[in-house]
Structure 1
């Protein structure tokens, strides 16, 4: 599963594409060290395949590598942080 990262100004997103379908997790950069995850959208064609989790996980991996924290305001992303206590190191509390 290939996930790409797009970032412009204070906004960014992680995207998974297959054919004409696209899933995304968007964020706002609140500061140099904080991203706010504000939305995750996965089309029905991708449901049940773990695409949403992989999108959030991509942000977690990047946050670790870049010394950032994540604030998951998106209900889906927040639920994933509760399910993955091993991501607590990048969770902004």
Structure 2
């Protein structure tokens, strides 16, 4: 992914397929990551987002979520939001509504995701 599309020119999104996570690399260090499960035919269940302690409060969470959603769009995939942060982000924008899997949307917002039992809702 081109760093100019991300928060800073030094930002890079990496898909660590073996670890089932996307990583936002900023200035050579992992600033944030998002755990996912890739299901067939091309659905990404977004499970958890984590921002490095030193990067918190600088908008890195939003940057990694947008970068991941843009990447999934480029792969013509859909998303199921399990992560409370992702669910809350999607609830507040129409920009990525087309990516939400109609059969398996996940949680509609942060409160629902935080109250979930850990199973993937249909």
Give me the TM-score of the superposition, normalised by structure 1: 0.82
- Structure 1 unaligned segments of length 5 or more: list them: none
Could you say which residue in structure 2 is the equivalent of 1:69? 78
Q: Which structure is richer in relative contact order (CA contacts within 8 A, separation 6 or more)?
A: 1
Range with bigger deviation, 15-24 or 49-58? 15-24
Which deviations, in whole Å up to 9, do the C-alpha atoms of 1:33-65 show, x marking residues without a partner?
Answer: 100111111123212211111111111111221
- Structure 2 unaligned segments of length 5 or more: list them: 1-7, 106-122
Given candidates 3, 8, 20, the residue that maps to 1:11 is: 20
Could you say which residue in structure 1 is the equivalent of 2:48? 39
* RMSD after superposition: 2.1
Judge conservation of contact 1:16–1:55 (CA < 8 Å) in 2.
no
Measured after TM superposition, the shift of residue 6 of structure 1 is 2.1
Cα distance, 1:9–1:44 mapped onto 2, change above 3 Å? closer
Give me the TM-score of the superposition, normalised by structure 2: 0.65
